[in-house]
Structure formats: C-alpha cells, structure tokens
Structure 1
Amino acid sequence: MPIVETIEKKDKMHLIADNVKNVISLLGEDVNREGLLKTPERVADALQYLTKGYAEDPEEILRGALFKEKYRQMVIVKDIDLFSLCEHHLLPFFGKAHVAYIPNGYVTGLSKLVRVVEVYARRLQVQERLTTQIKECIQNTLNPLGVMVVIEAKHMCMQMRGVEKQNSITTTSDFTGVFNQQKTREEFINLIKKSPLL
C-alpha cells in the first residue's frame, strides 16, 4: 500500500504545504512576505484537487449505470473538456476528448463517459497513456463491440518552456474491436468534425 494512502487528508495537506514552502524558499523568494503567506496551502489544496482521480474508480462509475439495450450503433460523446497535469514537469495540458463505443447488449449513462475522462485526467499523466486508459476502461467494463478515443490538447510544457511553440496541438487516438476497420474509424472522425446542431 502506498504511504500516501495511510496519511489523513489534513495531514497530507500540511506535508505538501511544508514542501511547497521549501521550494518557494529555494527559488529565492521570501516565504514570509504578504503575497506568499498562504501560497503553500493554496498550492497544496490545488494539487490535491487536480489529482483527485487517484481516489476514484472509473470502472465502478461505469458499472453504476449499466442498462440492457438492443442499440448496436455508434454512441459518441465529443468535445469533452479536460484538464490534466503533465507528469514530467507538473505543468497543465488541456483540450478535448472525443469518446465513442458500439454497444454489445449494454449501454452506460452518457455522463459516466465524461466522468471516466475526468477521473483519469485528474492524475499525473501523459496524453498517450490517458487516451489508452480511457479506452481500456470502457472496453473492459462494457465489453462493447469496439471503443475509440481521440484527445486533442495543448501542453504548457511545450508552450511555456522547452520549444515554446504556443500554437502546437497534440492529437492522440486509440481504438479496439470494430474500430480496427478503417470505415468505422472514418465514420467516427467525420461525426466529431461536424458542427454541433444546438
């Protein structure tokens, strides 16, 4: 069991805040000046919120809303806003996820697909793994005929530092089952490109 699982939330908050305070001091700032007095606690609170996905089980979320259904065509939830932290620099990346599956006897609540994206995004991530984790969770839990996930995101570690390319967008995709067929993938891509009707 990871040591963090045995630490009370309040104690964890204090430990993170103390370490943030040390980092600020090592950067050359005065941790006692007015503008920084509450910064360690604010950062600790923000980090716990931004990584709250570790405390949630995405498969359980899907299983909590499973319904028998004969529908066997594509189900798509597109333009799901996501925010995550790059595990390499702890800088944000953000964008949109597009999720599709073709049911095989069961469907899940549409909001549950959004929550699965949210749970995995609220962890330290790389976009490639995030894409695959969402796909595998849906495939393993719903056992559909196929799943496809596409994520488009901007990475602050590429825009604020490093190559500093402010307009770069990273796209990742992963798929299973019937989405191995080019025709099915193309149908999905064409549908997510369409302008919303509402």
Structure 2
Amino acid sequence: MDARAKQQESAPIVADYPRPSREEAEAAVRTLIAWAGDNPNREGLLDTPSRVTKAYGEFFGGYQQAASEVLDTTFKEVGGYDDIVLVKDIPFASHCEHHMVPFFGKAHIAYLPSDGVVGLSKLARLVDVYARRLQVQENMTQQVIDAINEELEPHGAAVMLEAEHMCMSMRGVRAHGAQTTTLRFTGKFAEERDLQDRFFALIARRG
C-alpha cells in the first residue's frame, strides 16, 4: 500500500491546514447564509450555525476513525471455512468532495478468508469510516478494498458501491434517479471469472 493509502487509514487524519475553531466554523456558516441571500440574524436561522457544525461533526466523523481499529479482531474458530463471505446491501451516505452535497446508496463486500474471519458488523463499520469523509465514489471503493486486503490479507476481495449523487440530481443535468456503480476485484476474485459470477449472483438474489 502506498503512503497516501496508509495516511487514509490513520486516525485522526490531519491535513496540512490548521483546523478552525468551532466559533470560526459557525462564523463561516453565517457567511454562507448571507451569501445565499438570507439574514443569518433572523429568528429561524439564529441557531443554524451551531446546528450545522454539530451535524458536520457527525457527517465527517470518519476522519477521527481508522480502518485498522475497525478490523483489528478476527475469529479463527470457523471450522476451516474458506469460501465467500458476503455482506450486501450495506446502506451508506457520504458527501461529494467537489460540491459537498450528499451521495448515498448501498455497498456490497465479499472476501475469501485466509486466516479467520472478521465480525460481519465490522464490514458495515468499515464502509461508514470512509463514507463519513469528503469523498468521490471511485476513491471510496478503492479505500474499502485496500483496507480489507491490508488488515485481513484474504485470498481475494470484491467491493461494489451503488449510489445516487445529489450533485447530479439537484444541480447541473438534474438526472434524478441516476445510479453510479463502482467495482473492484482483487486476488482470486480478479483472477477467476467463476468467483465474479457468484458474487454478482449472490448480490442479485433476494430473500
């Protein structure tokens, strides 16, 4: 894994730019409200800067988390199981780093265990770590599969994200309902078409 990918796994992630205080962040929100054309001092907006900064703490909490901590515990006693482990339809919501508006959808993750398995809920938490950062979907897909490979060292992994981007739905072309799919295979999943077919079939299966 290269240095940039390693940095993505550290917690917290600190940019080469000083983090503003909460008061400075709230002042910036008031400036944006005024720029949008409203009065930040009117009754309905007085507490908005405080609410927005609090919400941003939740939206972007992934900067304070590390994938290595999420995937740090594996279970060895699985009866020799070495076939596909799949968790599908993991809901996520993130924010586009280009316009800072949401994109949301579902993630599907599969891997072939090499030395034990990780708790299933940990895969959902892993998606959340990267979703709660400013993102592009392609990069998020790569980050998730890199973390799985780095921490679990499986025989292979597969990650697919399906999402609708509000930067396409609410502005620009306003393509409501358009879905973007990103996909990565590594290890045996990249080498064996049969595993890829099984991955897609399992995702498509309902009930």
Shorter-chain TM-score range: over 0.9
Q: Provide the TM-score with structure 1 as the length reference.
A: 0.92
Aligned match of 2:75: 67
> Which 4+ stretches in 1 moved above 4 angstroms?
none
Q: Residue 202 of structure 2 aligns with which residue?
A: 191
| Maintained 8 Å contact 1:13/1:45 | no
Give runs of aligned pairs for residues 1-198 of structure 1, distance below 5 A: 2=15, 12-63=21-72, 65-68=73-76, 69=78, 70-180=80-190, 181-196=192-207
Number of positions where the alignment pairs a residue of Structure 1 with one of Structure 2: 191
Which residue matches 2:5? none
Report the Cα offset of residue 14 of structure 1. 2.0
Cα distance in 1 for partners of 2:21, 2:125 equals 25
Identity of aligned residues (%): 45
Structure-1 separation of matches of 2:105 and 2:144: 15
- Name the Cα RMSD after superposition: 1.4
Contact 1:58 1:119 in 2 (8 A): yes
The runs of 5 or more residues in structure 1 that have no matched partner are: none
State the one-letter code of the partner of 2:39: D
Gaps of 5+ in 2: 1-13
Q: Measure how far apart 1:61 and its partner are.
A: 1.1
Q: Could you tell me the TM-score, scaled by structure 2's length? A: 0.88
Once the two structures are TM-superposed, the CA of residue 13 in structure 1 deviates from its matched residue by: 2.5
